[in-house]
Amino acid sequence: MQPFQWCNGCQCGLGSQRSEHYCSMGSDIYHLPLNVYVIVLGIGLFVFMLSLIFCCYLFRLKQQGTREQFSYNEVVLKGASKKLSLLGQTCAVCLEEFRTRDELGVCPCSHAFHKKCLLKWLEIRSVCPMCNKPILRLHSDAPQGAEGPMDPEEV
């Protein structure tokens, strides 16, 4: 018998030395200390969390880029305020009433719509859904001055 053969006498399957039906490759690989498992699990969770944070960051950049592509203001409708008096009115795109805590997009012509409705509309046509007044498409190289998007305001 040769001193080095493929290991067939055990289930390690790694091809180690075999002498007198004894596999010198023991099952030590399966009996690692607990701290090694904890370290491997910790590294895996850390990598998972980093990738999750990165995905959230990319999603936020995409949302911000979509909003900055058109010149409209974002408004969060609060129940107690009456500045725009939009409670009870309907969105001209989806025909649903504005409710408290709805995110609204307000065109430069002061027409308000649900933010999602306005974004979908502006992807197809760059005009106000109510009056067909052109809504400027902002370019990334253009300076954001008077025509740029304003900060979100709470109404």
Q: Domain ranges for the chain, please list them.
A: 1-30, 32-68, 70-155
Task: Give strand pairing partners of 114.
Answer: 104
Under CATH, what is the fold of the domain 70-155?
Answer: Herpes Virus-1 (3.30.40)
Distance CA 49, CA 55 (A): 10
Q: Compute the distance between CA of residue 6 and CA of residue 23 in angstroms, rounded to an integer.
A: 10
Average pLDDT over residues 22-31: 57
Give yes or no for residue 11 having a pLDDT over 70.
Answer: no
pLDDT tens sequence across 54-66: 999 999 888 776 6
Q: Give percent above pLDDT 90 in the chain.
A: 14
Q: What is the pLDDT of residues 97-136, one digit of tens each?
A: 877 777 777 787 878 888 888 888 888 888 888 888 887 7
Q: DSSP letters of 56-101?
A: HHHHHHHHHHHHHTB--EEEE--SS--SS--TT-B-TTT--B--TT
What's the pTM value of the predicted model, to 2 decimals?
A: 0.39
Using only C-alpha atoms, the chain has a radius of gyration, in whole angstroms, of 31
